[in-house]
Structure 1
Amino acid sequence: MSNMSIKTILYLFAGVFFLTGCKVGEKYKQPNLNTPDSFRSAWTTDEGDSSLSQIEWRNFFNDSNLITLIDSGLSHNYDIRIALKNIEIANRNLRINKLNYLPAVDANIATVNQQYRSKDFYGSASSKWYEQKGKKAPESMAKYQSQYATGLEFSWELDIWGKIGQEGDVLKASWLDTKEAKTAIQTKLIADIATGYFNLLMLDAQIEVAKRNLQLNDSTLRMIKLQFDAGEITALAIQQTESQRLVAASLIPDLEKEITIQENSLRMLVGDMPAAVNRNNTLNDSLINFDQDISLGSPLDIIRNRPDIKQAEYALVAANAQMNVAQIMRYPSISLSGVFGVNAMLAKNWFNIPGALLGGIAGGVTAPVFRNKKLKNQYEVAKIEREKVELDFQRRVMEAVGEVSNTIITVEKQKEQLNLAEERVSNSELAVKNASLLFKSGYATYLEVITAQSNALKSELDLVELKQRQLNACVTLYRSLGGGWR
């Protein structure tokens, strides 16, 4: 190629750069989320208090067995391990995008091209090849073309509109999304392990209540039988007392079944085969470091802390970049291509230097003119898709604020219920004691004793369940505020 041709191409590209060398598309800007200044709650704390979401999960829980389980889950849980693989894939895709700014180069190691044509073909045979061989070209299946080539070829699309950068923004958002997906899995895993562990402690406490109540029923039954033998009561009293005893006894195998299933579920959560789970504490112990002197933070903090909210925003960033890419596709594109190597008609001249040398460079500017409005439609659809993702982002923020507000009121009101439940248990225990004394003295019937014991069993089981629900509500509040991933 002559110097004049190369200069023409360079002038062409320089002119295009000066005339159109600008970035296309809208830069991402976080939409107005209309978050309130505070959550709907009577929970008030000083501004200087540390936020609940900022507490590291190891410091939030106060049970060594639970912390050991969570540690094992974070290392061996299959969802966590799959999420790490997704991060690795996204990281590779992000790194490779940076190389798109460079030209693509291919090496043609060896190309042999032999074409044959017969007399009715409109072209003539390769006369030079037959002259070299000292032969006359035949009328049928004459060698039409003979070519032996080796060289380098390159192609390069110049990113004058910022297309590669926008595609990089999509990949970066995808990479960040996978990281937040792993974080979301971690926070859910920690909450699930804690919930399962507290449920296991609740079942332990309930089976203790059932066994203790069974012993009480056994004692009552012996007393009823003595009075029956003395002729003071009928056989109906024995039958009803025995029925009450069987109610308590039937709870035990059912609770033992639930304990085994819960232990197996916890083991599978942490990536282990079904087995027993160690626990030394009870629901009466301080299992989490939680009190109402800790600040809840503001609704705006949710956007910075919650991985699912950040995922929604990264999806919006990606949609914004995709919209920009769709817009860039409507603009002219500039490309360079070239080849350098050797090319000969005869194998013996394949590497004949300089006779077989081949070189070329080409440049082009192409622009879509008429595509049946497909490119415009793709851009308009991308704009609508971006609007959809933005609405989803705003909806998720609203739902997160609502979730926190609901959990706060749950924690507050369940604390009141706990106080009432504890009073109820104390009252039912006193009723059992008094009913037994009155029955022995002849001032109460066996039905009053049975009723008192039934109420005591139910009130104790309800108290244990309420303690577990309160612990779970505290964990839910911790997670919904964005805690658990540090």
Structure 2
Amino acid sequence: MKILSIHRIGLGFIGLCLLIAQGCKVGEKYTQPTLNLPDQFRGDTLSYFADTSSISNISWKDFFHDPTLKELIDSALVNNYDMKTALLNIEIASKQLRQNKYNYLPEVDATIGSMNKQWRSKDFGSGPSSKWYEKHGTKASENMFTYLSQFGSEIGFSWEIDIWGKISNAKDQLNAEFMNSQEVRNAIQTNLIANVAKGYFNLLMLDAKIEVAKRNVTLNDSTKKMLELQYQAGEITALGIQQTESQRLIAASLVPELEKEILIQENALQVLTGKMPDRIKRGTSFEHLFAENKDISLGSPIEILRNRPDVRGAELELIASNANANIQQAMRYPSLSLGGEFGVNAMLPKNWFSIPGALLGGIGANLTAPIFKRKSLKTKWEVAKLERDKAELSLQQTVVEAVSEVSDAVITVEKQREQLEYARLRVENSQKAVQNANLLFKGGYATYLEVITAQSNALNSDLGLVELRQEHLESYVNLYRSLGGGWR
């Protein structure tokens, strides 16, 4: 009865510890800090209705209209090495998270076979294992007699009860890290889509520049022939022909430079798509690269918390830091562990698996607490709290930079739209100036210098328009990316 009472007391103690473990999770529960977001983005001059959708919620397949560009992006998302690495990191984090679920279970180890045989001599101060010698019908010697002989197999377990929530906080930490690995992948995808689009737009711009350069070479050739006729008639000097040739060479020298840049840009795009250097095909039109949808808006600044991978990732890092601080705090408190073993043990090999004579069993419980660890546990806890504060500051900074980036992108889109209109007017004016200069020169009312100047201005204005058109296209991509679009 006495032994039974002791067993009941032990089981009751264990049950009480398990009950306490359900409600003793220490630390601070995560709450999102105040981010002080504005009501709208600075520079948001887009007119839209309340029921319009945010740009960030549009899939990249719907945002871009050019089929060639969409094919490039799709290839990059499948073959890009950064994307492949990110997917492997997600798989690693997923396995670590799944493993944490088993931390609530006891650890079980099996000793398949063990042998322990020890010898002593007369000065050891103890006698030999008499049963061993009795079994063998011999007398123990004074020196190097068999002192201990054991053969056994056993199964043992150990189980730490999660009293203070170390395992559950570890689960929160690993879950945040797993979700953050997905946000890293989303951020890589968003930037990858933007870089592919910009590279493709740059190719179109370089193609357009070559056309401008070749057109100006043809125009200069025509002017040069006209001047050669006047030179033969004695109306002008050779200087006019030489200056016209210089202007033609300027335009002609652009062609090999642009061809070089095209090849380099094609190689860079192929790297993004995970392929070896090769030619990149183009679409048939420089216009209508984006899907036309007037019923869209920037959305409110609070939407970047849900859409931008870097902001979402920064908050997940804060959640993980908060969980780690809770873990370090729990390490300072007592821990309860249960253990036990069951198996067979005998002095002679022939009795190794003798049942029930060789059976052994045991169970125990340990409640341990750190007393003096040279302040290491407290220091780790304090450092973890400071790391959590750093993660919160990082989140605040990421949000501020994200809102500012969107505002910059909006302003750039609007102002470059105005610049683009002025650039178109400048091109029209330059083309008219070239036509008028040629007519006046033929009529003797203008000099060849005025013709060359008009052609030079036309070349510069045409190239400027092409560059500005590319920058305007890129500004839309930057706006889409800054709002968190592209990963859906």
1:266 to partner: Cα distance? 0.9
Of 47, 50, 53, 2:53 maps to 50
- 2:300 paired residue number: 298
Would the aligned equivalents of 2:44 and 2:407 in 1 still touch at CA under 8 Å?
no
1:143 to partner: Cα distance? 2.4
Q: TM-score w.r.t. structure 2 length?
A: 0.96
Of 411, 416, 419, 2:418 maps to 416
1:202-233 deviations in whole A, cap 9, x for unaligned?
A: 00000000000110011111111111111111
3-state secondary structure, aligned to 1:154: strand
1:91-150 deviations in whole A, cap 9, x for unaligned?
A: 111111001111111111111122223333344332222222223333443322211111
1:366-407 deviations in whole A, cap 9, x for unaligned?
A: 111222222111111111110000000010000000000011
1:17 to partner: Cα distance? 4.7
- 1:453 paired residue number: 455
- 1:14 paired residue number: 15
- 1:262 matched to 2:287: no
- 1:26 matched to 2:28: yes
Query: How many Å separate the matches in 2 of 1:248 and 1:129?
Result: 105
Number of residues of Structure 1 aligned to a counterpart in Structure 2: 485
- 1:477 paired residue number: 479
Query: How many Å separate the matches in 2 of 1:15 and 1:278?
Result: 72
Comparing 219-228 with 411-420, which one deviates more in the overlay? Answer: 219-228
Matching residue's letter, 2:436 = N
- 1:193 paired residue number: 196
- 2:229 paired residue number: 226
Would the aligned equivalents of 2:115 and 2:150 in 1 still touch at CA under 8 Å?
yes
Comparing 20-29 with 329-338, which one deviates more in the overlay? Answer: 20-29
RMSD over aligned Cα atoms: 1.6
3-state secondary structure, aligned to 1:262: helix
3-state secondary structure, aligned to 2:118: strand
1:440 to partner: Cα distance? 1.1
1:46-65 deviations in whole A, cap 9, x for unaligned?
A: 22211111111111001000
- 2:337 paired residue number: 335
Comparing 395-404 with 10-19, which one deviates more in the overlay? Answer: 10-19
Query: How many Å separate the matches in 1 of 2:153 and 2:292?
Result: 73
Query: How many Å separate the matches in 2 of 1:416 and 1:385?
Result: 46
Would the aligned equivalents of 2:20 and 2:163 in 1 still touch at CA under 8 Å?
no
Distance of aligned partners of 1:241 and 1:19 in 2 relative to their CA distance in 1, 3 Å threshold = closer
1:446-484 deviations in whole A, cap 9, x for unaligned?
A: 111111111111110010010110111100100110111
- 1:155 matched to 2:158: yes
3-state secondary structure, aligned to 1:444: coil
1:403-430 deviations in whole A, cap 9, x for unaligned?
A: 0001100000000000000000000001
- 1:214 paired residue number: 217
- 1:203 paired residue number: 206
- 1:427 paired residue number: 429
- 2:395 paired residue number: 393
Would the aligned equivalents of 1:205 and 1:282 in 2 still touch at CA under 8 Å?
no
Would the aligned equivalents of 1:290 and 1:474 in 2 still touch at CA under 8 Å?
no
Identity of counterpart residues, as a percentage? 59
Q: Report 1:44-83 matches (<5 A).
A: 44=46, 45-83=48-86
Matching residue's letter, 1:433 = Q
Would the aligned equivalents of 2:72 and 2:273 in 1 still touch at CA under 8 Å?
yes
Q: TM-score w.r.t. structure 1 length?
A: 0.97
Query: How many Å separate the matches in 1 of 2:242 and 2:143?
Result: 112
Query: How many Å separate the matches in 2 of 1:466 and 1:139?
Result: 102
Structure 2 unpaired stretches of 5+ = none
Matching residue's letter, 1:356 = A
Query: How many Å separate the matches in 2 of 1:321 and 1:482?
Result: 27
1:292 to partner: Cα distance? 6.4
3-state secondary structure, aligned to 1:199: helix
Of 135, 138, 142, 2:141 maps to 138
- 2:352 paired residue number: 350
1:19 to partner: Cα distance? 5.8
1:5 to partner: Cα distance? 4.0
3-state secondary structure, aligned to 2:297: coil
Distance of aligned partners of 1:224 and 1:138 in 2 relative to their CA distance in 1, 3 Å threshold = farther
Query: How many Å separate the matches in 1 of 2:435 and 2:377?
Result: 84
- 2:243 paired residue number: 240
Comparing 125-134 with 49-58, which one deviates more in the overlay? Answer: 125-134
Would the aligned equivalents of 2:231 and 2:237 in 1 still touch at CA under 8 Å?
yes
Comparing 202-211 with 4-13, which one deviates more in the overlay? Answer: 4-13
Matching residue's letter, 2:250 = V
- 1:319 matched to 2:355: no
- 1:3 paired residue number: 4
Matching residue's letter, 1:64 = P
